[in-house]
Amino acid sequence: MKYKQNLLKDESYLTYDEYITKYKSKAPRSKENYDIRKRIYDDNLNEIKAHNEKFRLGQVSYELGINQFTDWTNEEYSFAIKGILSILRLPEFFLQ
């Protein structure tokens, strides 16, 4: 577990450009979209750091990390997951 904690701690300091290199196949196409995604990434990164500080203090039981969704808003992520879940449930609908 110590290795995972160190990995997450190191990743929490990725710049947005480093994040793009590690997790995305390409950068946002327009400067405007880049700026929006970077702002979302920075906001989410601050939330990750604040949460992980609570983890280190024993106030929460799990740690957060960076992944391919860190430059998404909560609304974008929820919408995507709901879409995936509805597709996964589709065959069950046809069995009824």
DSSP string, 3-46: HHHHHHHHHTT--HHHHHHHH-SS--SSHHHHHHHHHHHHHHHH
- Measured CA to CA, the distance from residue 47 to residue 69 in angstroms comes to 14
Domain ranges of the chain: 2-95
Q: What separation in angstroms does the CA of 18 have from each of 11, 51, 80, 81, 96?
A: 10, 22, 24, 26, 48
Confidence (pLDDT) at 4: 43
Confidence (pLDDT) at 13: 75
pTM of the model: 0.73
At the topology level, CATH places domain 2-95 in Helix Hairpins (1.10.287)
Answer whether residue 52 shows pLDDT above 80.
yes
